[in-house]
Amino acid sequence: MTVFVVLPVAFCLALAVCTAVPQLGRLRRLSGIAASAVVLVSGVVLVMAVLDGQTPTALHGQLRVDALSAFMLTVVGSVGLTATWGGLEPRSAPRTTASYPTLVSLFLGAMSLAVLADNMGVLWVAVEATTIATAFLVGHHRNRRSLEAAWKYVVLASVGVAIAFFGIVLLYAATLSAEEPTLSWSLLDATRPPLDPSLVRVAAALAILGFATKAGLAPMHSWLPDAHSQAPAPVSGLMSGVLLSVAFYAILRVQAIAVPVIGPELMRGMLVTAGLLSLAVAAALILQQRDLKRMLAYSSIEHMGLLALAAAAGGVLAVSAALLHVLGHGLAKSSTFVVSGRILATEGTTSMADIRGLLTRRPGVAVPFLAGMVALLGLPPFSLFFSEVAIVVAGVQRGLTWVMAVAVALMLVLFASLARHSAALMFGEDPAAGVPVDGAAHGPRLPLVIALGATAVIGFVAGPFSTVLARAADVLGATP
Amino acid sequence: MSDSVYAQLVGLFGGVLLLCAVLIVWRRSISAEVRLLAVQGGALAALVAVLGVREGSAELLVVAGIVLTLKVVVLPGMLSRAVAQHGAALREETPLINTTTSLLALSLLTILAFLVSRPLLVLGDDPAIAAVPVGIALVLYGFLVLATRRHAFSQLIGFLVLDNGIGTVAFLTAGGVPLVVELGASLDVLLVVLILQVLTARISTEFGDADLDDLTELRD
């Protein structure tokens, strides 16, 4: 079993090295898919192992897989596969720049390391490494706008993550009172050393603040719309579905360490503030949004805000719903980002005012886009419907009634504006009437069908799936 | 090392760290700021070495060596070469707030640093713990530089001051983080600086200057 713990990280890093060789054209083209597939397979195998009652470890316990890690690895793999396979350029397309496949492999390797490590410090190093891997991916097009986005992204994300490091340092200082200072959460959870509450309070607040920056929660979200809108479409999908989710995972781990020491109040206050603010920012800015990819980026802020509220509520129901939401949002958002890339390729613009009547003109891209938007709007049968309802119900059960009431109101505003924008894109008056219908899909159709199909089905699949989610919530010490 | 020598050395190097940060905020010439950053890195390395000798920890001495190489030689070297390439050394930059105001802000931030580091003082009455506010002050100064300077290189320097502050707190409170994390963190900082430097070069070719006030195309 150990081999599957090391494999995702090792394979991605090896691939990153191999793809640096320009002669291996075919490997370079398919490397992202290979990396994601290996991560996904390892994730599924590890989920099986965890369901079997095992806790696989590797490298002297540096890597340790509990239910939460295994589930998150599956998310990284499946979202990665959707984004890289769906974003596969046709063979005739101009050759990608030298570093692109290497950086994507590095990104996937770092994300796998982040969810597999049993150490806050290593988790931090991996999250920061993704900033490095994605910096040039955001600035890939090398024009003014993408350079601006890349600069803002690197400065804000590095500073944010530096704050998280500050928090982790203080957490380590707090454990000096224990027998053996450690940053391993399994050890902290097993031994429950008497940590100093005032120190842990500062540490947890800083760590949450830092990782919230990376998770794109308001008010530290300003890098996100720029970076998502300027990056190549598959990279936007990876950032939205994988990077934000892993940053949220880091928040959950910090919370699980801090809550037994200082109680839930501080974290709940911070997360409720960030969650509601994110929903409000998204609601305010989607209404007037003119750019397709920026609209999707703000929708990611909305969903991260909802996840923050779920983490604030706590408890098995809220946490398992949040994890289901992470998976559903990741798959649906990476699919829509990939399609937005195809729309950009066929229409030559992402300005929503210039894209009308897509459904009649280009059904090949319009149908998957519409399906993805319906999923993101939280309509059944897609799993986001169930997870959103469960999060709201869990919040009310845990005494956050007013918070959830405000959240639902904001979500209705968001629903209305997203639906309005999508309807205009799909059915709006066609400016270029008479242009021949183009039914081509302009890229592989299968990954989008699988991803959106999975999003539609996972809400109904009970049994092993809900067991994994419940076990993962249990890892975080969630009490019913 | 006797207690009084130890306390004096910690105080000395803490003082140098703080002084360099103040001078960085005060000076406007970017090449002078880079030199000050190198001195500050040296003070941090010396501080780590003192702690290492005090605790008889070989690991800390290794870390001191890493800090010395990275923060005195590699990073300032990279920065000064880039500054020389862009000819930015000659240019005085105009921050958003004038020097008097920023020095006033520094004194307020220093007071703030002492206030917010109170929870940390529970860790003991060792001279190292007493010096923790220096690290916090450095973090706050770094934020100030990031928020008020408009030149790409100055923001980079602000980020490094911030990083030095976090490093200072880490070494003073916990004797550093585990070696694997320390190595990873150093590598990350190095790469971030490298990336920002490449981006700065691309921004100057694209915009003709590395003034971040020009970065206003993306907005809602």
Angle at A26 between CA A24 and CA A30, to 5 degrees: 115
A165 in contact with B, Cβ within 8 Å:
yes
> Cβ(B136)–Cβ(B117) under 8 Å?
yes
Q: Is A298 helix (H, G, I), strand (E, B) or coil?
A: helix
Q: Is the pLDDT of residue A74 over 90?
A: yes
How much is the pLDDT for B99?
Answer: 84
How much is the pLDDT for A147?
Answer: 87
Instruction: Please indicate whether, in this complex, the C-beta atoms of B181 and A119 are within 8 angstroms of each other.
Output: yes
CA A391 to chain centre: 17
Instruction: Please indicate whether, in this complex, the C-beta atoms of B199 and A147 are within 8 angstroms of each other.
Output: yes
Q: What is the pLDDT of residues A119-145, one digit of tens each?
A: 998 999 999 999 888 988 888 887 888
Q: Which of B121, B123, B199 best probes binding to A when mutated, by most A CB atoms within 10 angstroms?
A: B199
Q: A307-336 burial string, b = 16+ CB within 10 Å, else e?
A: bbbbbbbbbbbbbbbbbbbbbbbbbbbbbb
* Average confidence (pLDDT) over A174-196: 82
Residues 6+ apart with CB under 8 A from A463: none
B188 in contact with A, Cβ within 8 Å:
yes
Name the minimum distance, in Å, from the CA of A151 to any CA of chain B: 7
CA distance linking residue A7 with residue A37, whole number of Å: 11
CA distance linking residue B134 with residue A313, whole number of Å: 37
A154 in contact with B, Cβ within 8 Å:
yes
CA distance linking residue A62 with residue A42, whole number of Å: 17
Half-sphere exposure for A385 (CA within 13 Å, toward CB): 14
Instruction: Please indicate whether, in this complex, the C-beta atoms of A166 and B192 are within 8 angstroms of each other.
Output: no
Neighbours of B23 (CB within 10 A): 15
Name the minimum distance, in Å, from the CA of B179 to any CA of chain A: 10
How much is the pLDDT for A148?
Answer: 87
DSSP letter for each residue of A71-84: HHHHHHHHHHHHHH
Among the listed ranges A97-106, A283-292, A314-323, A406-415, which one has the minimum average pLDDT value?
Answer: A97-106
Q: What is the pLDDT of residues A34-72, one digit of tens each?
A: 999 999 999 999 999 998 888 888 888 889 999 999 999
Give the range with max mean pLDDT: A178-187, A190-199, A405-414: A405-414
Name the minimum distance, in Å, from the CA of A199 to any CA of chain B: 6
Instruction: Please indicate whether, in this complex, the C-beta atoms of B173 and A136 are within 8 angstroms of each other.
Output: no
Nearest to B159 among A136, A158, A199 (CB): A158
Instruction: Please indicate whether, in this complex, the C-beta atoms of B173 and A119 are within 8 angstroms of each other.
Output: no
Q: What is the ipTM of this complex?
A: 0.90
A131 in contact with B, Cβ within 8 Å:
yes
Interface list for A 257-316 with B (CB within 8 A) = 285, 288-289, 294
Token pair belonging to B183 = 């190595």
Q: Which residue of B has its CA nearest to A162?
A: B163
CA distance linking residue B13 with residue B42, whole number of Å: 9
How much is the pLDDT for A414?
Answer: 95
Q: Is A117 helix (H, G, I), strand (E, B) or coil?
A: strand
User: CA dist A411 to A228, A240, A414, Å?
Assistant: 21, 19, 5
CA A85 to chain centre: 17
Confidence of residue A365 (pLDDT cuts 50, 70, 90): confident
A98 in contact with B, Cβ within 8 Å:
no
How much is the pLDDT for A431?
Answer: 63
Interface list for A 8-27 with B (CB within 8 A) = none
Cis-peptide, bond into residue B178, ω within 30° of zero: no
Q: Is the pLDDT of residue A20 over 90?
A: no
Instruction: Please indicate whether, in this complex, the C-beta atoms of B181 and A285 are within 8 angstroms of each other.
Output: no
User: CA dist A470 to A224, A250, A310, A377, B59, Å?
Assistant: 31, 18, 14, 25, 42
Q: Which of A169, A201, A226 best probes binding to B when mutated, by most B CB atoms within 10 angstroms?
A: A169
Q: Which residues of chain B have pLDDT under 50?
A: 89
CA A331 to chain centre: 9
Q: Which of A147, A292, A301 best probes binding to B when mutated, by most B CB atoms within 10 angstroms?
A: A147
DSSP letter for each residue of B36-51: HHHHHHHHHHHHHHHH
User: Looking at residue B151, what DSSP letter applies?
Assistant: B
Percent of chain B with pLDDT over 90: 39
DSSP letter for each residue of A222-279: THHHHHHHHS-HHHHHHIIIIIHHHHHHHHHHHHHHHHHHH-SHHHHHHHHHHHHHHH
Query: Could you tell me the end-to-end alpha-carbon distance of chain B, in angstroms, rounded to an integer?
Result: 60
CA distance linking residue A53 with residue A56, whole number of Å: 10
User: Looking at residue A118, what DSSP letter applies?
Assistant: S
Q: Is the pLDDT of residue A22 over 90?
A: no
Partner residues linked to A469 by β-bridges: none
Helix (H) or strand (E) holding A368: helix A363-376
Q: Which amino acid is at A203?
A: A
User: CA dist A442 to A88, A347, A363, B45, B126, Å?
Assistant: 10, 12, 11, 56, 66
Instruction: Please indicate whether, in this complex, the C-beta atoms of A169 and B174 are within 8 angstroms of each other.
Output: yes
User: CA dist A272 to A163, A411, B17, B37, Å?
Assistant: 20, 15, 38, 39
Neighbours of A306 (CB within 10 A): 29
* Average confidence (pLDDT) over A304-320: 93
Q: Is B109 helix (H, G, I), strand (E, B) or coil?
A: helix
User: What Rg, from alpha-carbon coordinates, does chain A have?
Assistant: 21
Neighboring chain A residues of B177 at a CB cutoff of 8 Å: 121, 168-169, 172, 183
Cis-peptide, bond into residue A381, ω within 30° of zero: yes
Instruction: Please indicate whether, in this complex, the C-beta atoms of B184 and A148 are within 8 angstroms of each other.
Output: no
Pairing of strands A63-64, A57-58: antiparallel
Q: Is the pLDDT of residue A480 over 50?
A: no
> Cβ(A414)–Cβ(A282) under 8 Å?
yes
Percent of chain A with pLDDT over 70: 95
> Cβ(B3)–Cβ(B125) under 8 Å?
no
User: Looking at residue A97, what DSSP letter applies?
Assistant: P
Instruction: Please indicate whether, in this complex, the C-beta atoms of B173 and A170 are within 8 angstroms of each other.
Output: yes
Residues 6+ apart with CB under 8 A from A75: A43, A241, A242, A245, A326, A327, A330
CA distance linking residue A190 with residue A67, whole number of Å: 16
Among the listed ranges A109-118, A137-146, A471-480, which one has the minimum average pLDDT value?
Answer: A471-480
Q: Nearest Cα to B27, choosing from B82, B113, B106? A: B106
Dihedral angle sign, alpha carbons of residues A417, A383, A86, A127: positive
Instruction: Please indicate whether, in this complex, the C-beta atoms of A159 and B181 are within 8 angstroms of each other.
Output: no
A229 in contact with B, Cβ within 8 Å:
yes
Instruction: Please indicate whether, in this complex, the C-beta atoms of B123 and A199 are within 8 angstroms of each other.
Output: yes
B178 in contact with A, Cβ within 8 Å:
yes
> Cβ(A134)–Cβ(A110) under 8 Å?
no
* Average confidence (pLDDT) over A351-364: 84
Neighboring chain A residues of B170 at a CB cutoff of 8 Å: 169, 172
Instruction: Please indicate whether, in this complex, the C-beta atoms of A162 and B162 are within 8 angstroms of each other.
Output: yes
Q: What is the pLDDT of residues A397-451, one digit of tens each?
A: 998 999 999 999 999 999 999 999 999 988 877 666 556 666 666 778 899 999 9
How much is the pLDDT for A467?
Answer: 86
